[in-house]
Amino acid sequence: MPLRSILSIFASLLAAVFLVLISSNTVKADSKPPAGPVSKYNESMEKAGEERRGPVKNWQPYWKDGLRIDSPKNNLRVKINLSVMVDGGSIEADDALQGAFPNLDGPNAGFRQLRISTLGTLYDWAQFKLDIDFDNVSDIKDEWIRFTKIPYIGHITLGHMKESFSLEELTSRKAITFLERSLPTVAFTPGRNVGISSHTAVLNQRMTWAVGAFFNMDSFDDVGNSKDQLTKPTGWNLTARITGLPLHVDNGRSLLHLGLSFTHKFGDRDDIGVRVRTRPESRLTDDRLVDTGEFLMDSADLVDAEFAFVNGPMSFQGEYFHTFADAGAMGNPDFWGFYLFGSFFITGEHRNYDLRSGTFIRLKPKNDFCPRKGGWGAWELAGRFSFIDLNDEGIRGGKEASFTAGLNWYLNRKTRFMLNYIRTHVKDRETSPSFDSGRADIFQARFQIEF
């Protein structure tokens, strides 16, 4: 590994050590950290929470898995969290990629996420959520209201939200196995849009289904700036997803997940081009190594088949994506891609699955990080292969294949270090800038914590 890669990664990790040491003193309810500003603050917040839950109820905030504020009669309950992710690393590109993308090569560091999330419950029959990522202050991630406990329907949600498409996309960034989602997931999934959706779990929560209608706030752009903005719609989407659990035993320690997602995109503007592209599974760069460029499209069908298998500490997951575009001038091109990954917990944990949503959620280590009590958190090894093909008919956006090796250290449910090595190969790209073949090595680390 080049020296500048090592220095960049080391600087990011060092910047997070202070926060880790603080959190390691407060991860267990029965731990006795030494008195100090942080421990005194936690004690005062917990005490406020106990007083709030006593016979005299008021609007006093308290601390329980985040900052909480309840109304005197519990008609309104609000929870506020802050999520921080700091990335650092370096990209080493060969001459072909460096010539096509002059800013690709070199070290970089910065916030991947600096998000405040507000989740509220109203009268036990409605919920609302507002997420704003201050890493890009214009990004409103979630802004919705949900009506719950509707007979035969489950939940109805209205607002700005993720469309129900793809297992990896719907799994929170705080819980995904790698630093970034795979090439085809980023390129093909609809992401967040404004609309209405319904979701429920049936058959003793062994099956979920979701359906929704959404204004397409932008085109096939990756999950980044434009997709999450409330701009003028370019069309609308119908999206549906169904999942099932043929196997689910021992509280999810062994399970088999199967799912199918479908989206039909209706275009209603002739002056707006669409675009399919993706970064090389890293946010250290804004360059998209495969990119169709803009082209006119009347409609499109997106299909995604998903599976996941968990057997104790070992798990596998994969998805296959296919896009059928109705773009007569370009010959109605088809684009496709897939990913497959495996992971193994050295410390014996298993991935956690949420029956209500049909997705994976964050891990709770068997032993949180607390060296004086012999706890060192959870350790996970992972490897992924992903591929995307954006060449068909009159469009030559290129083909890209990536291999990622990952190491994750979970200090507790809300804190982890991540280290990824990505080897990516791009070829047959004719859209500007064009090149025949190029390779890049990416070394990247992340520290994440939630308050």
Candidates 3.40.140.10, 3.40.50.300, 2.40.160.10, 1.25.40.10; correct CATH number of 3-33+75-450?
2.40.160.10
pLDDT at residue 57, rounded to an integer: 59
Dump pLDDT digits (tens) for 256-286.
999 999 999 987 666 567 889 999 999 999 9
The domain spans of the chain are 3-33+75-450
Dump pLDDT digits (tens) for 36-53.
333 343 444 455 455 444
| Contacts (Cβ under 8 Å, ≥6 apart) of 248 | 206, 254, 255, 256, 353, 355
Dump pLDDT digits (tens) for 176-208.
999 999 999 999 999 999 999 999 999 999 999
The per-residue pLDDT of the chain, averaged, comes to 85
Dump pLDDT digits (tens) for 379-422.
999 999 999 999 998 899 999 999 999 999 999 999 999 999 99
